Amino acid sequence: MVKVMEYALRQLCEKITEKWISEHIEDSTFHEATGFDDGVRKQLVKQLEKTSDSYKKNFIDVLNEIEVVNRDLEQYYMHGLKIINIDLKAVMGLCAHYENPLHVFFHEMGHAIDYNRGGYERLSLGDSFKKAFSEDIHLLIERLNDEDEVFEMRRIRSDDESRGIQDIFSSLPYLNEKGEFEGEFNNVNVYNLRPRYMHQPDYWRRLNDPAIDARSELFAHISAAQASKKQQEYMREYFPNSFKTFTELMEKSRV
C-alpha cells in the first residue's frame, strides 16, 4: 500500500514537459503502416503540450497499453483487441487546416481512455457522465425552441472545428425514437439543424438506447477537443456539463 501511495505521489508531482511527453511515448506502440515517423511524433508532442497534465497522463498511459495499427481504410478503436486503426500520416494531411491536425487520433484515444480508465465500467457509462449528458440534452431542447438559437446552431456548420458538436446534433432524432430520451424532442424540429458531419442512422439505431452511443461519441469528441481552443469553445457552449465532468474524470483517473 505504501509503494502504491509513493507511486501516486510521484506521478502527481512529476513535471510534465515536452521532454517528458516525448520520452513516455513508446515507438513500439505504433506499427510501421500507420506512418508514425519523426514528423508525426513532433506533431503529437506539440498537441499534447497544449492539454492538461491529467489528460496527458491518461493519454500516454493508455497509449502504451494498446497498439496503433493500419489494417484498413477506417479509423476506429477496437477494445477487444486493444487497437486503434488509423493512418496517421494520411489523417495529418487531410486535417492540416485544423488547430490539431491529429484530432481524429485524439478522438479514437478518447474511446480508448473511456474503455481503459473506467475500471469495470466505461467512463461514459458512469453515473456522473450520464447525469451531465442528460442535463446538456435538456438544455439543448430549450435552445431548440428558440429560432435564433437554431439559426446559430446551423450557422456553425461552416466551421470544420464544430464537427464533434454536429455529430452529436445528428443523434438527436434517434434519441427521440427510443431509450432514455424517447419522445423528449416531440415539440421541436431536430431536423432543422442539418449537420454536415454525422454518424449514419444505422449507427445511432443499433442499440436499444441510442444515448449509450451518443455519450460514448461525445466523450471521444471532448477528448479530440483537448488540444483545440475552438473545439473547446463549442463544447463549453453546447455541452458544458459533459465537458466539465470529462475534466473531473481525467483528474480522478490520472494515476
Which sign does the torsion angle of CA 88, 91, 92, 98 carry?
A: negative
Same domain, yes or no: 128 and 97: no
207 assigned to some structural domain:
yes
Same domain, yes or no: 60 and 142: no
Q: What is the CATH number of the domain that holds 98?
A: 3.30.2410
Burial class (CB in 10 A: 0-12, 13-18, 19+), 32: exposed
- pLDDT tens sequence across 114-157: 999 988 889 999 999 999 999 999 999 999 999 999 999 999 99
Provide the whole-model pTM: 0.92
135 assigned to some structural domain:
yes
Question: Which residue among 97, 116, 135 closes a domain?
Answer: 116
7 assigned to some structural domain:
no
219 assigned to some structural domain:
yes
Range of the domain at 44: 17-116
Pairing of strands 83-85, 67-69: parallel
Same domain, yes or no: 94 and 142: no
Number of domains observed in the structure of the chain: 2
pLDDT > 90 in the chain, percent:
82
Predicted pLDDT at 14: 59
81 assigned to some structural domain:
yes
Predicted pLDDT at 4: 47
Residue 72 burial (CB count, 10 A): 9
Same domain, yes or no: 67 and 155: no
Same domain, yes or no: 223 and 141: yes
Distance CA 80, CA 78 (A): 6
- pLDDT tens sequence across 172-208: 999 999 999 999 999 888 888 889 999 999 999 999 9
- Mean pLDDT to the nearest integer, 17-44: 91
Same domain, yes or no: 128 and 244: yes
- pLDDT tens sequence across 24-35: 898 889 999 999
